[in-house]
Amino acid sequence: MSNSFRTTNSIGLINKDKKINFTFNGTIYHGYEGDTLASALIANGVHLVGRSFKYHRPRGFLGVGVEEPNAMVQLHDGNKSEPNIIATEVELVEGLKAKSQNCWPSVQFDIGEINNVLNRFFPAGFYYKTFMWPKSFWMKIYEPFIRKAAGMGKAPLLPDPDRYEHNYEHCDVLVVGSGPSGLASALAAAKNGARVILAEDKPNFGGSLLTDEVTIGNMSGKEWASDTISQLKSMPNVILKKRSQVFGYYDHNMTVMIERVSDHIENPSKYTPRQRLHYIRAGEVIVSTGSIERPISFGNNDRPGIVLASAAKEYMKVYETLVGKKPIIFTNNDTAYSTALEFIKNDIEPIIVDTRDSSNGELVKEVQQKGISIKFNSGIADTKGHLKINSAIIGKLDSSKESFISEETVECDCICMSGGWTPTVHLSSQAGNKLKFNEDIDAFVPDKKRQKETAIGAANGSFTLNQSLAEGFQVGFDLSNKFTDQNNPTNSPNSNEPSYEKHEKLWCMPLPSGKKPKRFIDFQNDVAVSDVELAIREGFRSIEHVKRYTTLGMAGDQGKTSNLNGLQYVSKIEKKIVPEVGHTTFRPPYTPVTIGAIVGREVGNHYLPTRKSPIHTWHEENNAVFVAAGLWQRPRYYPRGSEDMNSAVNREAANVRKNVGICDVTTLGKIDIKGPDAPEFLNRVYTNAWLKLPVGKARYGVMLREDGMVFDDGTTSRLSENHFHMTTTTAQAANVLSHLEYYLQVVWPDLDVNVLSTTEQWSGIAVAGPKSRDLLSKLFPDVDMSNEGLPFMGLVDSSIDGIKARIYRISFSGELAYEVNVESNYGLYMWKKIMEVGQSFDIQPYGTEALSTLRIEMGHVAGAELDGRTIPFDVGLNSMVSQKKDFIGKRSLSKDAFTESDRQTIVGLVPLDKKTKIPEGSHIIEDNSAVAPIPKLGHVSSSCWSVEYNNPFSIAIIKDGKNKIGKNLYAVSPLKDISIPVEVVSSHYVDPEGSRVRS
């Protein structure tokens, strides 16, 4: 079977000189350049492509483009594998591999088809009813069952190897869809000087002009489309995008478009992304998205071979492919007759079944003139054929059209159906447009717009070419006039098309006598007429409820072919007109979008910058193990030989206590604060007093939020009368800056102060330990490093080798310690210099783990304690709170709950066995044998191995902490199933008097 369903003409857009090989379910086929996977399969006589969602019924192609609800396939293998791809949207490319999904073991013989036999067990609301009770069945029985039964394709398990890009675009006018109205509006807007983007989902511009027999000016529709496109192409203010679907319309005229950049290219360059996501902020959006043909519900209307009439026509005219050779055309309107005529041109005589009593439309007459008889007042009652349709039962309708008066069986290999046309209003609806019901076309059209969006042409319910072109030229000109002053309108050319008679309001056929076959409304979600009837019978009245109960119009399909038929049927049963029934909400995306495209380049490190200190290379060369601290990479520890983390950390911390250590603290937030009101500002920001801080001195400060919770802490120093240097924690640096800007700009704009982040400008090096003074004295011989010369919390400027350095005597480790700050560029130089001089003092670098150990032992609080739930009292910082002045958050501290004496406060914990490390996050309880629920006294915030005492030590925040010191409690970690007896001690475990830092 090789392309036996190709036509012999060459009117389409495929290139029969270029063969393309592909595989479907393991069989090798060929198609031609310009084919889609769908057209190539149909040309090879393959209609069975998959199994339906719920009943595993054999399904084929219904449509030819985005409207296709059935033909979803799994593409490619391995890491390129992609599920739920619509075969009508896949351009054929050499070596393409596709397979059916939702079937096992094969699409021809599928075990799941038993669901079809058991379909009385799978009606609407089945899941809701069956899986509710008993509750205990949920995890073990129901959920696994649903997981097995649900879903279609398989998500790939390997990382996506392809590249996706994001692009931001701005334009005056975005035109979505390149049919006659879209082309007209783009041309008019562009000629009037506006910046225009024209987006077309398909690989070819032109929309219905590619298939309709019309003339515009002195050209055929197809010629006019290509002429208009070449005009637009030559204009510098126009961007043309094909293979590009605008799938979402968000606030403030932000639309999102997915462009298939290289899916259709056999061997794309590695620099070409697979797909590109465009965020387009448009001044105005013209929605010229056309319309989608409606199916008709009749018995077994889902068999492979039953297609939309317009799809059959497009397969013939664009892809030179016949959906069948024994066609039945089944319609309630005139447009399907153009499909009949196309078959006739290919020497195939279709059987025509028309629900109407008669029609005098031009196309109907033309068909009759060719000697084809039409079965008016008839409908299809049922179909036969297991994996492909082989016959139809055609019935004569009675006068009420509620039942058949006679039935006959007719052989066929396809049915091309048409229930009229539904404007594609998805984008307008997403934009917030309140749709209105148009009685003439029995469909919703955009009405009251909320955003700068205008629907034209068929999307606006204007179904004639004349109207479409006129609207296009007018709207394109009008809207572009908002952006240009050229005032240059383009006239609409004359056009010619056949006249059409009105459709019949009939979208659901009666059942055949004595049978109850399923009549599908929503093919993708397997929703039949009987499901809608059931939902209404069970009391679901709101169309939104019917939608959820039956799943009609949900998921990837978004009701493209099913929405209106569902509404019509509800309105029929409820005896309400459709506008009273209303419509459900259309949601983005209009078509399924690859997750990879949404993610874009934000894979791996999520496209975040990695911040490295200027000393980073040294850390790398010296075997540092790094840890992420926000965006920063910080050395965690520096293992020597075969050391594990614990021994390395203990060695590093112990060396600080015994000799001297060096730590890269460049990541600390630094904010430069200048201005005559700077002291007053700090006085308001911090809980302690700042007005009298002498120049050349640093002070530890704590800042609160207005709710009284500790926000951040750090050391701030006064460099001159009106100039301060603030440091913040690494984690809160950005938030503190925003906080300061808020108070300066919003709350106290009268304060004359400027703040600026200088985190990147300074490199900071902590030198800590009893030998630190001797080391720095040797390094800076000009500086008096004595306790009098540079006392605790003092600072001094100096330089070596012409490099300016600022030396602070501050300590986080609790030891005698200094922090040397130099301009970032000299950070590495200074670090190496200190290491060099430090050799004779047994200097060792230490990382963040040892840094933590040292501060935990000392009872210094950090992020784990300042977790947004602690006030100064809770974490032992009450002495930092001035009673004399007001500051941010002070009023909160006198609230009742904040003054209770038994609040959870900071303590130290030591395990009784002096061996077992207490996991951070453990709960503290009093009675280990109590029955749950056991009252929780608090939790463990930080844990370390104390290098001073050589046993584990933790900081905890527990109820009435101070009065618990000396008591034995339990630290329990249900996650790790452990319970550790602990003794409560002071959180200042090492050097509680703080004598070392002042030595």
Partner 1 sequence: MLEIKCPYCGKRSQNEFSYGGDATIKRPQLGEEISTEDWDNFVYYRDNPRGKHSELWHHVSGCRQWFKVSRDTATHEIFDTCKMNEDFNV
DSSP 658: H
Instruction: Compute the distance between CA of residue 588 and CA of residue 585 in angstroms, rounded to an integer.
Output: 10
- Asked if 706 is part of the footprint of partner 1 (rule: CB under 8 A), the reply reads yes
Q: Is 884 in the site for partner 1 (CB under 8 A)?
A: no
Q: Please measure the distance between the N-terminal and C-terminal CA atoms of the chain and give it in whole angstroms.
A: 94
DSSP element (H, E) containing 174: strand 164-176
By beta-carbon proximity to partner 1, the closer residue of 167 and 487 is 167
Query: Residue 820 carries which side chain, given as an amino acid letter?
Result: V
Q: Based on CB atoms, which residue is closest to partner 1, 640 or 891? A: 891
Stretch that binds partner 1, among 480-488, 670-678, 885-893, 985-993 (CB under 8 A): 885-893
Identify residue 839 by its one-letter amino acid code. Q
Nearest distance from C-beta of residue 735 to partner 1, angstroms: 10
| Placement of tokens 């270029």 in the chain | 18
Q: Which residues in 662-701 contact partner 1 (CB under 8 A)?
A: 684
CB of 253 to partner 1, least distance (A): 8
3-state class of 710 per DSSP?
strand
Phi, psi of 497, rounded to the nearest 5 degrees: -155, 160
Would you count residue 496 as binding partner 1 (CB under 8 A)? no
Q: Which is nearer to partner 1, 829 or 898 (CB)?
A: 898
- Region of 412-420, 481-489, 615-623, 739-747 interacting with partner 1 (CB under 8 A): 739-747
Residues in contact with partner 1, shown as a per-residue x/- string from 164 to 193 under the rule CB under 8 A: ----x-------------------------
Binder of partner 1 out of 386, 515, 537, 895 (CB under 8 A): 895
How many whole angstroms separate alpha carbon 669 and alpha carbon 100? 56
Binding track, positions 49-88, relative to partner 1; x by CB under 8 A: ----------------------------------------
If one asks whether residue 434 binds partner 1 (CB under 8 A), the answer comes out as no
Q: Nearest distance from residue 430's CB to partner 1, in Å? A: 14
Residue with tokens 């000189």: 17
The tokens describing 933, both together, are: 């629920």
Q: Which of 432, 789, 992, 994 binds partner 1 (CB under 8 A)?
A: 432
Cβ within 8 Å of residue 73, ≥6 positions away: 24, 37, 49, 50, 85, 87, 90, 98, 99, 100, 101, 153
As measured in angstroms, the least distance from the Cβ of 742 to partner 1 is 6
Q: Which of 386, 515, 891, 967 binds partner 1 (CB under 8 A)?
A: 891
Q: Using CA of residue 495, residue 501, residue 505, residue 507, what is the dihedral sign?
A: negative
Closest to 533 in 3D by CA, of 127, 123, 128: 123
Considering the complex, what minimum distance in angstroms separates the CB of residue 277 from partner 1? 13
Q: For 534, list phi and psi in degrees, rounded to 5.
A: -65, -45
**Secondary structure letter of residue 747 according to DSSP:** I
Task: Give the CA angle between residues 769, 630, 861 to the nearest 5°.
Answer: 45
Which one of residues 357, 544, 580, 741 is an interface residue with partner 1 (CB under 8 A)? 741
Nearer of residues 620 and 886 to partner 1, judged by Cβ: 886
Q: Is position 745 an interface residue for partner 1 (rule: CB under 8 A)?
A: yes
Q: Are 811 and 997 in contact (CB under 8 A)?
A: yes
Which region among 177-185, 507-515, 737-745, 932-940 touches partner 1 (by CB under 8 A)? 737-745
Give 676: exposed, middle or buried? Use CB within 10 Å, 0-12, 13-18, 19+.
exposed
Strands (E), 567-705: 611-612, 625-629, 632-637, 660-664, 669-674, 698-704
In the complex, least distance from residue 368 CB atom to partner 1, rounded to whole angstroms: 54
Question: Strand 219-220 relative to strand 164-176: parallel, antiparallel, unpaired?
Answer: unpaired
Candidates 89-97, 354-362, 689-697, 889-897: pick the segment binding partner 1 (CB under 8 A): 889-897
Inter-axis angle of helices 336-345 and 362-369, to 10 degrees?
30
Is residue 279 involved in binding partner 1 (CB under 8 A)? yes
DSSP symbol at 452: S
User: Which one of residues 2, 738, 879, 901 is an interface residue with partner 1 (CB under 8 A)?
Assistant: 738
Q: Between 620 and 706, name the residue whose CB sits nearer to partner 1.
A: 706
Q: Which lies closer to partner 1 via its Cβ, residue 169 or residue 533?
A: 169
752 part of the interface to partner 1, by CB under 8 A: no
**978 is a contact residue toward partner 1 (CB under 8 A):** no
Spell out the residues 6+ positions from residue 779 whose beta carbon is closer than 8 angstroms to its own.
800, 833, 834, 837
Least separation, in Å, of the C-beta of 900 and partner 1? 15
Cα three-residue angle 939-944-949, rounded to 5 degrees: 120
Least Å from the CB of residue 587 to partner 1? 17
Among 169, 223, 672, 707, binds partner 1 (CB under 8 A): 707
746 binds partner 1, rule: CB under 8 A: yes
**Paired tokens of 787:** 């306790």
Nearest of 902, 936, 932 to residue 921 by alpha carbon: 936
Query: Residue 248 CB, nearest distance to partner 1 (Å)?
Result: 11
Among 577, 603, 747, 912, binds partner 1 (CB under 8 A): 747
Measured from the CB atom, the residue of 147 and 252 that comes closer to partner 1 is 252
> Does residue 281 bind partner 1 (CB under 8 A)?
yes
Q: At residue 321, what is the residue type?
A: T
Give, as ranges, the residues between 233 and 272 that touch partner 1 (CB under 8 A): 250-254
Nearest of 253, 236, 240 to residue 191 by alpha carbon:
236
What minimum distance in Å lies between the beta carbon of 281 and partner 1? 6
- Report the nearest approach of partner 1 to the CB of residue 168 (Å): 8
Nearer to partner 1, 115 or 433 (CB): 433
Residues in CB range of 156: below 8 A, 6 or more apart: 78, 79, 80, 81, 82, 83
Residue 749 near partner 1 by CB under 8 A: yes
Show contacts with partner 1 in window 140-169 (CB under 8 A). 168
What is the nearest approach in angstroms of partner 1 to the Cβ of residue 747? Answer: 5
Question: Does position 742 bind partner 1 by CB under 8 A?
Answer: yes
Across 809-964, the runs of DSSP E, i.e. the strands, are 817-823, 843-845, 904-911, 923-925, 938-946, 951-959
Asked if 868 interacts with partner 1 (CB under 8 A), we say no
Residue 510: is the preceding peptide bond cis (ω within 30°)?
Answer: no
CB of 691 to partner 1, least distance (A): 14
Of 485 and 750, the one with the shorter C-beta distance to partner 1 is 750
Using only C-alpha atoms, the chain has a radius of gyration, in whole angstroms, of 38
DSSP element (H, E) containing 259: strand 254-260
Q: Which of 386, 450, 587, 804 is in the footprint of partner 1 by CB under 8 A?
A: 450
Q: How far is the CB of 750 from partner 1 (least distance, A)?
A: 11
Smallest CA-to-CA distance from 470 within 459, 482, 454, 456 is with 456
Tell me which stretch binds partner 1 (CB under 8 A): 497-505, 738-746, 760-768, 775-783: 738-746
Identify the DSSP state of 299.
B
- How many amino acids of this chain bind partner 1 (CB under 8 A)? 27
215-216 sheet: strands from edge to edge: 219-220, 215-216, 495-496
Which residues form the interface with partner 1 (CB under 8 A)?
168, 250-254, 279, 281, 432, 450, 684, 706-707, 738, 741-742, 745-747, 749, 885-887, 891-892, 895-896
